[in-house]
């Protein structure tokens, strides 16, 4: 009696298992999985949150099926630690069998995943990290964010042409800071500008006071600043406290310091800062107005450039899938992405078919008050800027 019941149970269980097994491959055929690796905790968490938000928003607006396939995003938190990134990427590729890996808050994280993308032959869509070398590390890497060279060279060119001859620099002493400094210096001095003071600030820096005093005493026309996004607010407050704004020393730099995410908390000290960057929430296109309104409605705050990079990243994945008719072969997808052009909230952008890096407009902006809030208002445009930081072949 007991035996028969047990056997029955077994039959039922195995039947269920069979059914399950049979249904899995069928489902996997219709689903495209994206492994999204972002820093959701730790000092870079705001980057991760913006990108995650933007992807959610995009999928709300455009549905979660492309070319007959259901898009499934698996979010993992690497806290911007490259060892985690590598482990998570491996898990996503081997266990979850993802068709894309995407995200990557910082350069070391993007680099850590590069060999895995090459080995697994799946596209790695970089949505944040901004060092030039990244796309050279694997033929499967595509970037939708920016490179520091793009904005730093442009601001270097712009200041020389606009009568600023003496500049002091203050940059954080880590790879992106040094990148920004080198590219700025190249273009600024080539145009006849002079660097009167050069200070590298330690990354974990408690107090800017002595460095700022040094800037003030070297009496430049402007100071070039690059600090990690989180420190921008502290920096601007101390800049104002020391009266640098009143002594006529302008802040210039790549736009990271004036991230839309933080700008409003910086207070009026930030007014008048001129930066070069890829995106401002105040970009005057209809598409951007809709994007900002939708983002604000969904998440209660303004999107920054990281959000736009995530939004464009997922758009690129959607479009590539449309082009391949849903085929998830890595080589085909990368081929489809190369040279793709589209209108983003930041303006017209494209993927360089040679370097798989982004080509975009760089805008010169000035911090102004619009409706009682601080915004980077764009007033000059350099069109279709490529990354100039690639190693010369």
Partner 1 sequence: MASILTNLFDGVAYGMLLFVLACGLAVTLGLMNFVNLAHGAFAMAGGYICAVLVNQSGWPFFAALPLAFVGSAVIGIALERTLYRHLYSRSHLDQVLFSIGLVFMSVAAVDYIMGSSRVFIKLPAALEGQIDLFGVGIGRYRLMIVVICGLLTLALQLILAKTRFGSRLRAAVDDPRAAIGLGINVPQVFAFTFAFGCGLAGLGGALSAEILGLDPYFPLKFMIYFLIVVTVGGSSSITGPFLASLLLGIADVAGKYYVPKLGPFVIYTVMIVILLWRPNGLFGRTAAR
* Interface positions with partner 1 (CB under 8 A): 41-43, 45-46, 199-200, 202, 204-207, 209-211, 213-214, 216-217, 230-231, 233-234, 237-238, 240-243, 261-262, 265
Q: Residue 49 or residue 69: which is nearer to partner 1 going by CB?
A: 49
H helix count then E strand count, the chain: 12, 15
How far apart are CB 307 and partner 1 at their closest, in Å?
14
What sign does the dihedral 86-88-93-99 (CA atoms) show? negative
Q: Residue 58 or residue 305: which is nearer to partner 1 going by CB?
A: 305
The answer to whether the CB of 34 falls within 8 A of the CB of 98 is: yes
Q: Residue 45 or residue 59: which is nearer to partner 1 going by CB?
A: 45
How far apart are CB 113 and partner 1 at their closest, in Å?
23
Burial 211-223 (b: 16+ CB within 10 A, else e): bbeebbebebbbb
DSSP of 61-100, one letter per residue?
HH-SEETTEEEEEEEEE-TT-HHHHHHHHHHHHHTS--SE
How far apart are CB 319 and partner 1 at their closest, in Å?
32
Nearest to 71 by CA among 95, 46, 42, 100: 100
How far apart are CB 75 and partner 1 at their closest, in Å?
17
How far apart are CB 351 and partner 1 at their closest, in Å?
31
DSSP strands (E only) in 202-293: 222-226, 250-254, 274-277
How far apart are CB 249 and partner 1 at their closest, in Å?
14
Q: Residue 115 or residue 243: which is nearer to partner 1 going by CB?
A: 243
Nearest to 389 by CA among 184, 183, 186, 191: 183
How far apart are CB 263 and partner 1 at their closest, in Å?
12
Structure tokens at 230: 């989180």
How far apart are CB 269 and partner 1 at their closest, in Å?
9
Q: Residue 121 or residue 237: which is nearer to partner 1 going by CB?
A: 237
Q: Residue 74 or residue 240: which is nearer to partner 1 going by CB?
A: 240
The answer to whether the CB of 239 falls within 8 A of the CB of 261 is: no
Q: Is 101 helix (H, G, I), strand (E, B) or coil?
A: strand
Q: Residue 43 or residue 191: which is nearer to partner 1 going by CB?
A: 43
DSSP of 17-66, one letter per residue?
HHHHHHHHHHHHHHEEEEEEEE--SSTTHHHHHHHHHHHHHHHHHH-SEE
The answer to whether the CB of 314 falls within 8 A of the CB of 58 is: yes
Kindly report the number of other CB atoms within 10 A of residue 20's CB atom. 9
How far apart are CB 224 and partner 1 at their closest, in Å?
15
How far apart are CB 101 and partner 1 at their closest, in Å?
24
Q: Residue 259 or residue 387: which is nearer to partner 1 going by CB?
A: 259
Question: What are residue 372's phi and psi, to 5 degrees?
Answer: 80, 0
HEC profile for 318-386?
Answer: HHHHHHCCCCCCHHHHHHHHCCCEEEECCEEEEECCCCCCEEEEEEEEEEEEECCEEEEEEEEEEEEEC
Q: Residue 216 or residue 283: which is nearer to partner 1 going by CB?
A: 216
Q: Residue 141 or residue 244: which is nearer to partner 1 going by CB?
A: 244
Question: What is the DSSP-derived secondary structure letter of residue 134?
Answer: G
């Amino acid at each position: 009696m007991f035996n028969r019941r047990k056997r029955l149970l077994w039959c039922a269980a195995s039947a269920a298992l069979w059914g399950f097994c049979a249904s899995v491959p069928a489902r996997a055929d219709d689903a495209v999985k994206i492994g999204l690796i972002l820093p959701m905790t730790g000092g870079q968490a705001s980057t991760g949150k913006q990108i995650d938000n933007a992807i959610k928003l995009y999928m709300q607006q455009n549905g979660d099926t492309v070319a007959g396939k259901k898009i499934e995003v698996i979010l993992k938190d690497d806290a911007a630690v490259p060892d985690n990134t590598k482990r998570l990427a491996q898990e996503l590729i081997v266990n979850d069998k993802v068709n894309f890996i995407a995200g990557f808050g910082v350069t070391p994280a993007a680099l850590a995943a590069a060999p895995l993308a090459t080995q697994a032959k799946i596209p790695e869509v970089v949505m944040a990290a901004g060092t030039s070398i990244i796309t050279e590390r694997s033929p499967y890497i595509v970037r939708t964010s920016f490179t520091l060279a793009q904005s730093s060279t442009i601001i270097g060119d712009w200041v020389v042409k606009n009568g600023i001859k003496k500049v002091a620099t203050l940059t954080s002493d880590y790879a992106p800071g040094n990148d920004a400094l080198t590219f700025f210096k190249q273009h600024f001095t080539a145009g006849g500008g002079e660097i009167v003071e050069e200070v590298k600030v330690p990354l974990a820096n408690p107090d800017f006071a002595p460095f700022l005093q040094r800037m003030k005493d070297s009496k430049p026309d402007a100071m070039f600043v690059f600090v990690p996004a989180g420190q921008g607010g502290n920096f601007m407050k101390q800049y104002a406290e020391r009266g640098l704004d009143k002594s006529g020393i302008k802040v210039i730099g790549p736009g990271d310091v004036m991230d839309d995410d933080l700008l409003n908390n910086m207070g009026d000290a930030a007014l008048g800062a001129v930066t070069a960057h890829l995106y401002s929430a105040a970009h005057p296109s209809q598409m951007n107005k809709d994007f900002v309104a939708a983002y604000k409605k969904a998440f209660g705050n303004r999107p920054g450039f990281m959000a736009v990079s995530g939004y464009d990243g997922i758009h690129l994945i959607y479009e590539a899938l449309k082009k391949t008719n849903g085929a998830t072969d890595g080589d085909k997808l990368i081929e489809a992405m190369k040279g793709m052009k589209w209108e983003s909230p930041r303006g017209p952008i494209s993927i360089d078919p040679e370097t798989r890096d982004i080509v975009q407009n760089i805008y010169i902006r000035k911090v102004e008050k619009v409706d009682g809030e601080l915004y980077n208002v764009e007033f000059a445009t350099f069109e279709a800027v490529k990354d100039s930081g690639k190693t010369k072949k």
